[in-house]
Amino acid sequence: MTPASPTLTSPALLAYRPGLNGIRAICVWLVVLAHWTLPGFPLGEMGRIPFFVLSGYLISGIVWKQQVHPGAPGRWLSRLGTFYQRRMLRILPPYYLALALGALLPLATLREYPGWFILPVSNLLFYRLGHWGEGVGHYWTMAVDEQFYLIWPLLLGLLGRRVSALLTVVAASVLFRIWWSLHITPTLTFVLLPACLDMFALGGVLRIIEPQPWVRQLARGRWVLLAWAAWAGIWGLLEVANLHNIWLLISTTVGGLASVVTLNWAVQLAGPAATGSARLLQHPVLQWVGLRSYGCYLYHLLLVVFYQRAVYHVFSAAATRQLWLSPLPTVLLLTPLLLLLAAASWAWLEAPLNRVKDRLRYS
């Protein structure tokens, strides 16, 4: 039986949640720091997985509230078109600008395979090549997001608003990763959309169950820490046992569960009356960065490639190059530049586009 929930048309379903901006800020910088410093620990995954779960949470809420899924009352097809237009306005223009800058840099993979990025289906390109392209490897997550936006309203029309159906999607995604890795190839299986559906589906589950009292009781900072400690502990045990391939099969599902706990904490407690650890998410710095997190993600790899080339151009001694390219100088020098790029992207492109997007009303 589906847990009780607010009426689908309730405005509270899509109410502004400042805690989510704080989560975005933390997660995007986990990814940025992982790509800039290349730590041995999967720090980037700790940022990437919550973003996919958050997409599932937010998009499921939009689909259900605005009734854009097949079979919804009235002109659902018209509303579905509005949904796609709004997503395209929010995501694609800043993405294409970043692609244009990458082509000017130039980035070899982008210049050689432009169509795969324009569509965008770069996740399929990386799967086909078996490796990442210089400065463009992070675009696979955006390709998966775009593919998710296309299919999710249609899939929810088939599944309905049921926890059991979404958990079936989670199980099917895990089984897909296992079967594909065993019978096709284990290389980069995780970049394929079916391999990511467990994270999106867990976000949908949270959207359904969040009003439940027992879920509210789990909205505590200590449970967030415990969930991610368990995720890290499983990674550590599998690394020691040299079972990295098993980690690739289960990390997104285990991390997705930890992300559900994290997002539940953010949406339940990080409001105007937030206290304790939840107040951290409303810090002005996190709110500012969270609002500009898309720009941070778009440009962080382009920026580090530019920096590496500049260092090699300016310095000839290997020891000097190694010093300037070490993690600390890289982070200290590139952080203000990335924040400046993200601020410009928000002020001159994303915010104006959001105003245009907001004028596209669902019928």
Determine the pLDDT at residue 276.
66
Quick one: pLDDT at residue 325?
A: 97
Cα distance between the two ends of the chain: 31
- What is the pLDDT, as a whole number, of residue 136? 96
Q: Could you give the 3-state DSSP secondary structure of residue 162?
A: coil
Is residue 120 reached through a cis peptide bond, with omega within 30 degrees of 0 on the bond before it? Answer: yes
* Residue 17 pLDDT: 78
The answer to whether 264 and 218 have CB atoms below 8 angstroms apart is yes
Domain ranges (residues) in the chain: 18-358
DSSP state of 255: H
pLDDT per residue of the chain (363 residues) written in tens, 0 to 9: 333 333 333 334 456 678 899 999 999 999 999 999 999 999 999 999 999 999 999 999 999 999 999 999 999 999 999 999 999 999 999 999 999 999 999 999 999 999 999 998 999 999 999 999 899 999 999 999 999 999 999 999 999 999 999 999 999 999 999 999 999 998 999 999 999 999 999 999 999 999 999 999 999 999 999 999 999 999 999 999 999 999 999 999 999 999 999 999 999 875 555 666 667 888 999 999 999 999 999 999 999 999 999 999 999 999 999 999 999 999 999 999 999 999 999 999 999 999 999 999 997
Q: Which of 282, 288, 246, 240 is nearest to 265 (CA)?
A: 282
Cα–Cα distance between 321 and 315 in angstroms, integer? 6
Burial 222-259 (b: 16+ CB within 10 A, else e): ebbeebbeebeebbeebeeeeeeeebbbbbbbbbbbbb
Torsion of CA 106, 111, 113, 115, to 10 degrees: 110
Is 86:79 a contact under the CB 8 Å cutoff? no
CA distance 211 to 320: 56
Distance CA 55, CA 201 (A): 10
AA letter at 152:
W
Query: Which position has the token pair 């920096």?
Result: 307
Q: Are 66 and 10 in contact (CB under 8 A)?
A: no
Per-residue confidence (pLDDT) for residue 269, from 0 to 100 = 73
Number of other CB atoms surrounding residue 4 within 10 Å: 9
CB burial class (10 A; 0-12, 13-18, 19+) of residue 275?
exposed
For 33, 41, 171, 203, 280, the CA distances from 263, given in Å and listed in that order, are: 21, 22, 21, 9, 14
What residue type is assigned to position 96 of the chain? Y
Note the pLDDT of residue 146. Answer: 97
CA distances 226 to 218, 231, 233, Å, are 11, 9, 10
Residue whose tokens read 């790509």 = 35
Mind spelling out the 3-state secondary structure of 269-338? HCCCCCCHHHHHHHCHHHHHHHHCHHHHHHHHHHHHHHHHHHHHHHCCCHHHHHHHCCHHHHHHHHHHHH
Letter for the amino acid at 179?
W
Q: How far apart are CA 161 and CA 69, in angstroms?
A: 11
Question: What single letter denotes the amino acid at residue 46?
Answer: M
